[in-house]
Homo-oligomer: A and B are copies of this chain.
Amino acid sequence: MPQTIPLAQHLFKRLRQLSCHSIHGVPGDFFLRALDRIRPSGLNWIGNANELCAGYAADGYARAATQLRRHRSAPSPLVGALMTTYGVGELSAINAVAGSHSEHVPVVHLVGTPSRKAMREPNARLPVHHTLGDGRAEVYAEMAKHVICAQAYLQRMANATEAAEAYDGVLEQAVRASLPVYVSLGSDMVELRVPEDLLKKPLKLEPPENEKMAEERAVHQILEMLQKSQAPLLIADGMSYPFDFQSEINELVSLTNIPTMSFTSGKGLVDESSPSWSPALPNTTDYSREADLVMMFGPLLTRWTTIPNTGNTILFDQESVELFGIVTELARSKAVLRALIDKLKEVKFGQRADVGETNFAQTPLGKAVPSASDSITQDSLWPTLSSFLKPEDTLLLANGTPLIGGRSLQLQPDSQVIASPIWNAIGSMLPGAQGIAAAKRDHGLPGRTILLEGDGSFQVTCQAVSDIMRYKLDVTIFIANNAGYTYERWLNGMDAEYNDVPSWRYVEAARFFGAKDNDPSYPILAKRVETWGQLQDVLADEKAGDGKGLKIIDVIMDPKDVPEASKPGLSRASAALRSA
């Protein structure tokens, strides 16, 4: 007789094989029994205050892959996992799952449903709770289909082994596509037995090899273009994180000395101490505007992004390379990059070109250092935070002014920046920071988790502070507290009440959420800073910078203040709202 284990244990142990050691969620009756199987499978359960927070946290957890890869010798996948109950739970989280889809984050969404019988024989007269009351048992799975890459509806499988195999199949898809997947499990299926040996069958996580001819042709063409180009430009953009292009990009930069920039979501990909790195936005310098070749990795652009207007663009997407508008579909673009690097090692490139002045170097401070009693402006805050940064920091930029201002940070080596220019949901980054911190702890990864937050964002998902404290996670939060949706003020309604948010006492957050007084195992630091001098004091405070426990720095700012350099872009965006 083969050894067997409960089906739930198979599901959880597979997650652990994908480096997921913590499952985020909110308990719900339909999967309470599955929760009993998490710890025996070697994982942790992280109970969030609500499902949206859990979804964002699972997304954050998966984004720690960047750091995990750097610290592991073997290639290392990493997925996030979210577990919610049927209907009310899964729909509360669906916005986070959709966000994972839009930005290519592999999250496994497990949904605990009523029993197989209840799902097969819905009864509109005596409906199961959490249904719409009309007998449409599978309606939520239908809704989820739009925002995931694959679904395993385990209730429909003939037996437990088939269910386990269907599950394995969607895990493979999640990792290969770097996208969320949806798995639903009947409440009666938790303890069904499956052969333990199934877990020994390796998951097929690698995409197939590229068609050799196509790969070689692409490499050849790119090489030719690079050699011909007089003014090339590399742009490392945000999707390079999930597509795992980072090490290849850095090798390319150091082999070629080509000037390299990034939009905000790509910050951290390239070592900022490299002589080829320029902090300028790719659309703001004469050099970049006149580049005769742009090679862009992992584009995470939006309609409002202005990209250099060269006819010669090479785009590296996940499974395609675009050369001059012609797209070559491939199994893995990363392999093209690797082959290109091998070729480049035989070629000599010149010195770095001068890319000219940038508009994001710390000019405001260069011009006039504020005095201690001055209030804190957007133009003084963000560059100043650079002095606070350390190697291995993971920095999350909330949408709004932190996303704008965060790009003036000068990063230390091996930092990661998490920004969300496409999904752009306010509130996602606070629970995201919780997820990052959990992944760092689970895997013993170094470096702090630092969130640059907005007050409007904080209010969306404030209960994540409770989740952070409950699990004693290390998170440092700066809140740009400008009493409202400042980014939106610049789009419409500069003085409108609808752009205000109430003034919370952020420094009392830890206390409200139940912090113990003077708990030596979990230090808490909370400061409200209104002046430049107070900010400097905090930044110089060793305890503020040690990354341990929870820090909340509430930075008071003017409601209408935005970085000077962002004003033209905001004006364009505002005008775009008024036109068709």
Q: Using CB atoms, name the residue of chain B closest to A186.
A: B580
SS class, residues of chain A in contact with chain B: loop
A412 within 8 A of B: no
CB pair B33 A578 closer than 8 Å: yes
Indicate if the CB atoms of A463 and B459 lie closer than 8 Å. Answer: yes
A129 and B462 alpha carbons, distance in the complex (Å): 24
* A132 near B101: Cβ-Cβ < 8 Å: yes
Number of copies: 2
For chain A, the count of residues having a C-beta within 8 Å of the partner chain is 97
CB distance from A379 to the nearest CB of B (A): 23
Q: Are B498 and A35 in contact (CB under 8 A)?
A: yes
Shortest CB-to-CB span from A185 to chain B, Å, is 13
Known contacts being A95-B91, A146-B143, A502-B470, is A485 close to B27, with CB within 8 Å? Answer: yes
Residue A22 at the chain B interface, CB threshold 8 Å: no
A552 to B91, CA, bound (A): 29
Cα distance A120–B128 in the bound complex, in angstroms: 40
Nearest chain B CB to A429 CB, angstrom units: 13
Report A421-470 residues with CB < 8 Å from chain B CB.
421-427, 459-463, 466, 469-470
What residues of B have a CB within 8 angstroms of the CB of A578 in the complex?
Answer: 33, 188
* CB of A94 within 8 Å of the partner chain: yes
Contact indicator A493/B32 (Cβ below 8 Å) = yes
List, in ascending order, chain B residues with CB within 8 A of A199's CB.
none
CB-nearest residue of chain B relative to A50?
B460
Indicate if A512 sits at the interface (CB-CB under 8 A). Answer: yes
Kindly list chain B residues whose C-beta atoms are within 8 Å of the C-beta of A344.
Answer: none
- Give complex CA distance A188, B146 in Å: 26
Interface residues of A (CB under 8 A from B): 26-30, 32-33, 35-36, 45, 47, 49-50, 52, 87-88, 91-92, 94-95, 98-99, 101-103, 115-118, 123, 125-133, 136, 139, 142-143, 146-147, 187-188, 299-305, 307, 421-427, 459-463, 466, 469-470, 485, 488, 491-493, 496-505, 508-509, 511-514, 573, 576-580
Some 30 contacts from A to B, beta carbons below 8 A apart, are A27-B493, A32-B491, A32-B498, A33-B577, A35-B496, A36-B492, A36-B493, A36-B496, A47-B497, A47-B500, A50-B52, A50-B460, A87-B98, A88-B98, A88-B99, A92-B95, A94-B143, A102-B132, A115-B576, A127-B303, A129-B303, A129-B424, A136-B146, A139-B146, A139-B147, A142-B146, A462-B463, A504-B514, A508-B512, A509-B512
Given contacts A29-B488, A50-B459, A102-B133, 12 further A-B contacts (CB under 8 A): A29-B577, A33-B492, A50-B52, A50-B461, A52-B52, A88-B425, A92-B425, A94-B143, A142-B146, A188-B579, A188-B580, A460-B463
